[in-house]
Structure 1
Amino acid sequence: MNLSFRVLALLLTVWVDAQKTSFTLRPPISGALTRAEVISRLRSFRPPAAPQRRLSSFPSVSKRFREDWQLDVDDLIEQVKVAPGRQGEAVVTWLTKDRHLPSALQYAAAGSLFRRRADGQVNVYTMQICLPNSEVMLDPLLGPPNIAFDFNQLSALINSSSFLPKDSDSWRYLPPEGDPWDFLARTNYCIDYKNPKAYYTSPYIHSVTLTNLRGGTDYNFQPEGSSRRFSFRTPPDVGVPGPYKLGVWADVGVTNVSFAVMTKMLQLDPDLLLTVGDLSYADGWAERWDIFGVMMEPLMSSRYHLAVPGNHELIQNNGIDLIHRYPMPFRESGSGSPFMFAHESGPVFVIGMAGSYSETDTGSAQWVFVEEKLRQVNRARTPWVIVMFHTPWYNSNNAHYLEGIKHQWDMEEMLYNHGVDVVFNGHVHSYERSHPVFNFSKDECGITHIVVGDAGNYEGPATYEGRPPGWKFPQPAWSAFREASYGPGMLTVLNATHAEWRWHRVACVYENKDHHPVNLSKFTYDGSRQSLGRTRPITAYIWDGASGPSEGPPCTTESDNSDQKFEASDMVMLVR
């Protein structure tokens, strides 16, 4: 075939391929076409019709929610995210309500004319609906959204009299004026296992592995059946020196503050995102994972993401949602648990573990895995070693104080002896950075511990918990900076010996003088659990949408008693 026509055929396919429509992608036209066929295709070609825009079939991700957060996602495919697999691999996951959409996508390096197809698998998971007896589940402290879940929907699930015969052993009657929380209290806050509606089944979760990826390269991909295209950049290959940026946050949730912190993290543009536990705050109401997935998709679909479990993943259903929706590379790193993994890229070796939410004794599975991975570190390839787990060892807030002490007794010396550089934690809803420390004393050879549980969840800031609430005084010598406001952090590894850590404040929140708790439920503990009563409360803490960043008005989160409470950022150069 004449070369010019082969080029023309190729350009035609590339142009068609570049249109953002839902037609099936295909590889470039081969040389089998004749001149007449090429001319015929050019003359008859018409751009494909734009796909019909459909509102999502996810009932929990409502049109109102999308409008509130300005999320224009009218696609059959949602909640796209990317995680690392083995070296040279990425695992792309997304959700659908339609079983018959393919578990496949097409991808290519940016600027490449050749696209590849990757096939994967689909699964669902099922679990009993169990909710925590928690004051914030009933009366969220920070929002909007100002409501944890739909009490009418919960009542409909509990009231099996509406769909079962009265002589059924599963028959339960909830009168119109009845309190569903009353019913849940009688069955350990789970919908009665005899009730056929006591079980939640997830949407279809598709997972596809992309192979033969190059480090530090932009890739485009499109799940088949989607009207959208996505792109992400792979981290640099192992051993490639910095600069290498790691975005770090924890205790995220789905409030307006969560959205603002996510937006700031997008602006910081990390190469790798670390979430140190407590992602969605679904708290047993699994459909809230869909809201979280939609809200965070712009961030989590555009870079590799690693996450460890927090208490809000584990206490209701042992982390089943997290395992299926956010698969981590645990088998690829030789771990026997989905809550423990290791990852290498650029100049960094990252170890994630369950921490206090798994056995930590010498010889336990967690202890053995972490020790094994630390022995495998090659400092010539990855000079920086980072460990992440949810519950902190070094926390000078009265909230969760010394909660992780058993884990610390069992494993701190191991991390110290192997020269771990940084430990990231969440759990406490504040920001705190330590000096290099070991055994509660400043130590030049110690580890820098950083708590980043300040990403915006509905439980509010760490100013009201503890006895007394707030920070301990005097500030311990090992504590370098602490503040109960909200924002993300960024670790920029510059080279083998220097890294810059910077925390960016995004929001100061204020106590809402108009907040009035509703009637207390008689089934609550110590009178502290507040019943929502099917009303829409005004949260106890609010954000004005402007106070927080350095360019905003001077501010502090109300009731924050830290000496650093007015600071809009924290920065330190770490030297190893």
Structure 2
Amino acid sequence: MGEKIPTLVLFLCIFSAAVTAEYVRPQPRETLDFPWDRKPSSYPQQVHISLAGEGHKCISWVTDGKSSPSYVEYGTSPGRYDSTAQGESTSYSYLFYSSGKIHHTVIGPLESNTVYFYRCGGEGPEFRLKTPPAEFPVAFAVAVDLCQTGWTKSTLDYIDQCNARPWMVTLGNHKMESIPLIKDGFQSYNARWKMPLEQSGLNLNLYYSSEVAGFHVIMLGSYTTMMTTQITILHQGEGDGMKQAMEPLLYASGVDMVFAGSVHAYERSKRVNTGQPDPCGAVHVSVGNGGNKRCKNPQPEWSVFREASFGHGELKLVNSTHAFWSWHRNDDDEPVRSDQLRITSLESSGCLAEKKHYLRKIFMAPWYWRYGILMPWPIQD
């Protein structure tokens, strides 16, 4: 992890002026083709990392062989592995498709801000990872709706060494199987992406939280019907029901930034609550252009900055009260930082003191089911 990891955040306050980018979106690039390259049955493929609680990481990979072992050897020197961790494996089938053996192995405890080298299943190439620092500063890369185009590759090329950083992901509509009446949805997603649900005290892989260098990260996808109260900081996709249920909680909890995808463009809103400007509300940032191709819509009045560019965002947390957000488009000859803002935590404002009373009113109010979500009854000030 270290300088950049793809995940998202909460509590922040923005100072900025309205800007309209004079920008013409380039033509779509080709869809990438990945021809099948046969590997030995125990060769690790699709290797990726995720957070797994304090001082631990989960290493995930796939093998064609069903008898391949699920252990990881690791250490702080190349080619020297002084620790071994045993994991678990799973597989799934869907209609006429059967997956390979999907391995998940948690390694640790690991030292903070340290490079580790590891090997999966006793063979194959050596990989490396870097653990996050124990305290600020820390930086995050933010990419959504990557798809599988030439712009996707360009985005990931700019996020240097992204394969050595944890990928903290949330679900979207494209992760849901197209025939949900035959099988439960998100079967592939749940099998392949192991998020820290146990460490979050949850029994579902579709939303979770984690601690990174002194602040709390909460992730949720909106394309699920849960019979459970949920907290949203990052969501991917539309959903009037989720907005109605979650926005009062976000507002009362002092959340300052909400990152979302699905809309394939970059956009940063004013600080708003229930669609109206509010100095104590959240700034909404759409980062849905990691590489997918879609149309460009007119800029609405509440938008501070909008640009239909491909790229990724970076959130650099300097300390517990200050951070810096920037948007980097990748469809120029060189990466361009087209939007940026300095951020100050709401901890220093009077908003949080006012919201404590509002938060108590939410939890004391009646709740009811709508859109498959448990919602608080509308609060009257």
**TM norm structure 1:** 0.50
Residues 257-296 of structure 1: pairs in structure 2 closer than 5 A: 257-266=151-160
Is 1:492 matched up with 2:319? no
User: 1: distance between equivalents of 2:57 and 2:286?
Assistant: 28
**1:575 and 2:344 correspond:** yes
Q: Establish whether residue 480 from structure 1 lines up as the match of residue 304 from structure 2.
A: yes
CA contact (8 A) 1:91 1:208 kept: yes
Matches within 5 A, 1:86-485: 86-110=53-77, 115-128=82-95, 199-237=96-134, 240=135, 242-266=136-160, 299-300=162-163, 302-316=164-178, 318-359=185-226, 364-367=227-230, 370=231, 387-391=233-237, 403-457=238-292, 460-463=293-296, 470-472=297-299, 475-477=300-302, 479-485=303-309
Question: Which amino acid is 2:189 matched to?
Answer: L
Distance 1:73 1:453, change over 3 A: farther
Q: Is the 8 A contact 2:79 2:117 kept in 1?
A: no
Secondary structure at 1:424 match in 2: strand
Partner of 1:294: none
Q: Percent same amino acid at aligned positions? A: 28
Instruction: Answer with 1 or 2: which has the greater Rg.
Output: 1
| 1:541-571 residue CA offsets vs partner (Å, 9 max, x unmatched) | xxxxx55733xxxxxxxxxxxxxxxxx5110
Residue 434 (structure 1) shift: 1.6
- Taking the aligned partners of 1:121 and 1:501, their CA distance within structure 2 comes to 38
Letter in 2 for 1:334: G
Tell me the number of residue pairs that the alignment of Structure 1 and Structure 2 aligns.
308
* 1:112 CA drift (Å): 11
Q: Whole-Å Cα distance in 1 between the matches of residues 167 and 215 of structure 2?
A: 14
Distance 2:78 2:101 in 1: 32
Alpha-carbon contact 1:104-1:208 (below 8 Å) kept: yes
* CA positional deviation for 1:311: 0.4
Give the equivalent residue in structure 1 for 2:16.
none
Contact 1:95 1:204 in 2 (8 A): yes
Normalised to the residue count of structure 2, the TM-score between the two structures is 0.75
Q: How does 1:40-51 map to 2 (within 5 A)?
A: none
Q: In 1, Cα distance between the equivalents of 2:112 and 2:212? A: 8
Specify every segment of 5 or more residues in structure 2 that has no aligned partner in the other structure, as ranges. Answer: 1-32, 346-381
Distance 2:83 2:223 in 1: 42
Residues in 2 aligned to 1:572 and 1:424: alpha-carbon distance in whole angstroms:
15
Identify which of structures 1 and 2 has the higher relative contact order when contacts are C-alpha pairs closer than 8 Å and 6+ apart: 2
2:44 to 73, 77, 83: 77
Whether contact under 8 Å (2:208, 2:220) holds in the other structure is yes
Do the aligned residues in 2 keep the contact of 1:77 with 1:225 (CA within 8 Å)?
no
- Report the counterpart of residue 56 of structure 1 in structure 2: none
Q: Per-residue deviation at 1:405?
A: 2.3
1:428–1:462: 8 Å Cα contact kept in structure 2?
Answer: no
- C-alpha separation in 2, matches of 1:345 and 1:548: 31
CA–CA distance in structure 1, aligned partners of residues 79 and 102 of structure 2: 29
Residue of structure 2 in register with 1:159 after alignment: none
Answer yes or no: is the 8 Å Cα contact 1:244–1:347 preserved in 2: no
1:504 to partner: Cα distance? 0.3
Candidates 57, 62, 70, aligned match of 2:36: 62
Do 1:102 and 1:224's aligned partners in 2 also have CA atoms closer than 8 Å? yes
| Superposed displacement of residue 356, structure 1 | 4.8
CA spacing shift, 1:315–1:204, aligned 2, 3 Å: closer
- State the 1:114 CA deviation: 6.2
* 8 Å CA contact retained: 1:356, 1:407: no
- For the structure 1 residues 249 and 74, does the alpha-carbon distance in structure 2 shift closer, same or farther, using more than 3 Å as the test? farther
Structure (1 or 2) with the greater strand fraction = 2
Is contact 1:501-1:572 (8 Å) kept? yes
- Whether contact under 8 Å (2:71, 2:121) holds in the other structure is yes
Give the C-alpha shift of residue 435 in structure 1: 2.4
Distance 1:75 1:426 in 2: 36
Deviation of 1:336 (Å): 2.4
Counterpart residue identity of residue 549, structure 1: P
Offset of 1:443 from its aligned partner? Answer: 2.1
Provide the secondary structure at the position in 2 that maps to 1:254. Answer: coil
**2:41 and 2:154 mapped to 1: Cα distance?**
22
Aligned-residue Cα RMSD (Å) equals: 2.6
Which has the larger share of helix? 1
**CA displacement, residues 281-335 of structure 1 (integer Å, 9 cap, x when unaligned):** xxxxxxxxxxxxxxxxxx24x1111111100112525111111111111122111
Give yes or no for contact 2:79–2:126 (8 Å, CA) kept in 1.
no
Tell me, in whole angstroms, the C-alpha distance in 1 between the residues paired with 2:72 and 2:80: 16
Instruction: Check conservation: 1:101, 1:225, Cα contact below 8 A.
Output: no
Q: Which position in structure 1 is the counterpart of 2:356?
A: none
Cα pair 2:41 2:63 within 8 Å, conserved = no
In structure 1, give the amino acid aligned to 2:249.
M
CA deviations 1:257-278 (Å, max 9, x no partner) are: 1111111112xx6xxxxxxxxx
Deviation readout 1:95-154 (Å, 9 max, x if unpaired): 1112233211210134897611111122211112xxxxxxxxxxxxxxxxxxxxxxxxxx
> For residues 407-428 of structure 1, what are the alpha-carbon distances to aligned partners after superposition, in whole Å with 9 as ceiling and x for unaligned?
1111101111111132111001
Corresponding residue SS for 1:501: strand
The separation in 2 between residues aligned to 1:255 and 1:205, in whole angstroms, is: 25
> Separation in 2 of the partners of 1:127 and 1:487?
33
